[in-house]
Amino acid sequence: MCIFCEIIKGNIPSKKVYEDDNVLAILDISQITKGHTLVLPKKHFDNFLDLDDEYASHVFLAAKKITKMIDKAYKPLGFNIINNCNEIAGQSVMHYHLHIIPRYEKDELVMNHNDNSNKFDLDEIALKIRG
Ligand code: AMP
Ligand code: ZN
């Protein structure tokens, strides 16, 4: 069984910050910043591509509440709300989860984005994705 399913079942300890019938939110053990929280659907889905509509809605509604709870508790300057989908994108636990990462300073979390706008034809890409 996956590690987050074990946590949800209570077989592995965690620091719970929120729970309802469908969602459990726990402190991420790595604490990228103070209050870094993971929102887990209680049902196992491997990743964002697998997540069903019902749980997508449960997770996002819970994430809104929890973000406000962290905001009230620590008054950060902002948040990153992140999902890593598959290993190439940094997913290390294959049980869908959202990261809520409060932000206090600029360099706590570095995400480098290249500007590749000169390399791609946006009309062609939009057509391809729309199918
Ligand atoms: P990701 O890399 O997006 O799949 O995120 C997985 C996250 O789970 C990482 O940030 C880990 O620090 C966190 N993590 C792994 N094991 C545990 C655990 N037992 N309790 C809390 N967080 C965990
Ligand atoms: Zn699981």
Spell out the domain ranges in the chain. 3-130
97 noted as active-site residue: yes
Q: What does the pLDDT read at residue 33? A: 98
* Residue of 92, 94, 95, 100 to mutate, ligand 1, most atoms within 8 A of C-beta: 92
In a 13 Å sphere around the CA of 20, the CA atoms on its Cβ side amount to: 13
Q: How far is the CA of 13 from the centre of ligand 2 (A)?
A: 15
Q: How far is the CA of 9 from the centre of ligand 2 (A)?
A: 10
Q: What does the pLDDT read at residue 20? A: 98
The structure's pTM equals 0.96
φ, ψ for residue 56, nearest 5 deg: -60, -45
CB contact set of 83 (below 8 Å; sequence gap of 6+) = 48, 96, 97, 98, 99
Is the Cβ–Cβ distance between 7 and 44 less than 8 Å? Answer: no
Q: Does domain 3-130 match CATH 3.30.720.200?
A: no
Distance of CA 28 to the CA centre of its chain: 11
The pLDDT > 90 percentage for the chain reads 92
pLDDT tens digits, 52-94: 999 999 999 999 999 999 999 999 999 999 999 999 999 999 9
Is the Cβ–Cβ distance between 17 and 69 less than 8 Å? Answer: yes
